[in-house]
Amino acid sequence: MYCPKCGYEYRDEIKVCSDCGTELIEKKENSKSKVLKSNSKNNDVNLSIENWLKWGGIGFAFFGILFMFPKYFMTKTSFEIPLFFRIFQTLSATLSYVMKGIFYYGIGVIIELLKEDKEISD
């Protein structure tokens, strides 16, 4: 027997919770499984948002590293610009994409941690 308010477990012969005075119920597993089933759809949505943010962040960083170097460093007009400025322009553009990626990945991780913290406190 379980108390539906405080969740304390009692022996079968006890019918009322000694802490809060609530009538005890037979099975806690059924009520808990109903709650888990109703929350599973919301968890899937949250999980997909977290994954999109995290993988999007990784994609931004990858895009910055892979495509910004040839764009700013190896074009025809870039050879007219001094080497120092080409390197600076390439690194700053790459860094901006990498930082965006880290930002989005961090937001995804924060959402995931907040969701886990909420589940633990419930």
Ranges of each domain in the chain: 39-121
**Measured distance CA(75)–CA(55) in Å, rounded:** 29
Is pTM beyond 0.75? Reply is no
Residue 2, classed as helix, strand or coil, is: strand
> How many Cα atoms within 13 Å fall on the side-chain side of residue 115?
17
The model's pLDDT over 66-101, given as tens digits with 9 standing for 90+, comes to: 777 677 666 666 677 787 887 888 788 888 888 888
* The token pair that represents 54 in the structure block: 């995290």
